[in-house]
Every structure is written in structure tokens, then in C-alpha cells.
Amino acid sequence: MQPMINVALPKGRLGEKVLAILESAGYPCPAIHDPGRRLIFENEESGVRYFWVKPSDVAIYVERGAADVGVVGKDILLEYRPDVYELLDLHMGKCRMCVAGPKTFRDDPEKTLRVATKFPHIARDYYAGRSREIDIIKLNGSIELAPILGLSDVIVDIVETGATLRENDLDALETIVPISARLIANKSSYQFQTEAIRAMGDAVAQQVAQREEKEK
């Protein structure tokens, strides 16, 4: 019998969408639609075992081999650089990593720029590339508060609809990188289950392309 593919799904709206794609790609799992508090669901017939994890933990499960594949935002891959294979851009969960600040912000190159963020590596890399001296203020959420209260000059954060910035009188000043969800694989799983994981990646890619075609 083929070994099961363990799939770490990010809890939330994106994960639900990804599950729908996986199911239509040939990896259905009726058990996952039963309400309850179970976290692991399998379907021997389609050779798949799903589990829901916190979105920011998906890469940890995959890197350490507790999951063979998973779905994670490009922001997490750029920030934590997990040692995994990035198989596919799912063209979902699209947003961008931006520098944002008050509408009145003017950069003074004489001063160290104070940058509040949940993504210190991304911010550091970005400003290192511009030889701009910065002071990182690492926060864990509600980043938009920092420039409003004078804790920082700007923020580096995810902008999706732009509503949070607008409602707090902040502007996106620069786009650092576009972000979307990616299908990732554990490196040794990929080595030992190459065919099965590739087949899953191909089937998902096909579904993604079909959905994009329909949305046009």
C-alpha cells in the first residue's frame, strides 16, 4: 500500500479554500467535513491525511517532517527561511509586504529609521539592500499602532485590502514584495515519495489554473 501523504493545512479562510482545491484535485476527505474538535482527518482511499494547524506553524511541521506537504504564505518563507521545497504558487491569499507610515512621513536620511514589524528579517534585508540604517522594533500584532503612537517612524507589514491602513490614516509607501500562498514539501518526504508528492502538486496546479481561467 502507498504511504499516506500528510498535509498541514492553515486554519482559516485560506485553508478552507486550499482544502476545496485538494479535494477537487483527487484528494477528498469526507471525515474533515464532520463538525467536531478533531484535528486529524484521513482518507485511506485517496492516500491523504489532513490536519489543521496555525498558519504560522505550517512551515515548522513541514520542515521537521511531521507533515509531508503544507500550505504557507510567502511571507513566512521569506521571514523564517525554513529548509523546505517550495513546489507551487497557489495564486491565493494574495497580498503584499509593504513599508507604511503616516501620510505626512518624510524620511530623514540623517536619522536612524525606526521600523516596527512582525517581520524583522524581511525588513532588515530590505533596508540592507538600500544601505539604510534602521532600528527594528519587533511587535507581534496591531503593528499599525506603532507609528500612530510614535513608537516607530514606519512599519513593515502585510497589506491586503488596505482597509487597516486607511482607517488609521496611514499610507502604503513602498511595496517590498508581493505575497501569495505556496505549496511546500518536506525535503526527505519529497525524496522518498517523489512521485506521490509530484502527482499532488500537478493535480493542484491544474485546479488552480482552471479556477483562474473561470475567474477571468
- Exactly one of 149, 161, 215, 216 binds ligand PRP (CB under 6 A); which one? 161
Contact between residue 213 and residue 31 where contact means Cβ atoms under 8 Å apart: no
Kindly state the smallest distance separating residue 153's Cβ from ligand PRP, in Å.
17
d(CA 100, CA 172): 4
Give the count of residues interacting with ligand PRP (CB under 6 A). Answer: 12
**How would you label 148-183 residue by residue, b for 16+ Cβ within 10 Å and e otherwise?**
eeeebbbbbbbbeeeebbeeeebeeeeebeebbbbb
- Exactly one of 89, 162, 168, 199 binds ligand PRP (CB under 6 A); which one? 162
- Exactly one of 164, 168, 180, 206 binds ligand PRP (CB under 6 A); which one? 164
Contact between residue 139 and residue 152 where contact means Cβ atoms under 8 Å apart: no
d(CA 71, CA 20): 13
Give strand ranges (E) for the chain. Answer: 5-10, 40-43, 48-53, 69-73, 85-89, 95-102, 113-117, 134-138, 154-159, 170-179, 181-185
C-beta of 123 vs 143, nearer to ligand PRP: 143
d(CA 63, CA 83): 6
Closest residue to ligand PRP, judged by C-beta, is 141
Binding mask 126-155 for ligand PRP (x = CB under 6 A): ---------------xxxx-----------
C-beta of 112 vs 142, nearer to ligand PRP: 142
158 binds ligand PRP (CB under 6 A): yes
174 binds ligand PRP (CB under 6 A): no
170 binds ligand PRP (CB under 6 A): no
120 binds ligand PRP (CB under 6 A): no
Kindly state the smallest distance separating residue 71's Cβ from ligand PRP, in Å.
16
Amino acid at 56: S
157 binds ligand PRP (CB under 6 A): yes
Kindly state the smallest distance separating residue 142's Cβ from ligand PRP, in Å.
4
DSSP letter (8 states) at residue 62? H
Site of interaction with ligand PRP (CB under 6 A): 141-144, 157-164
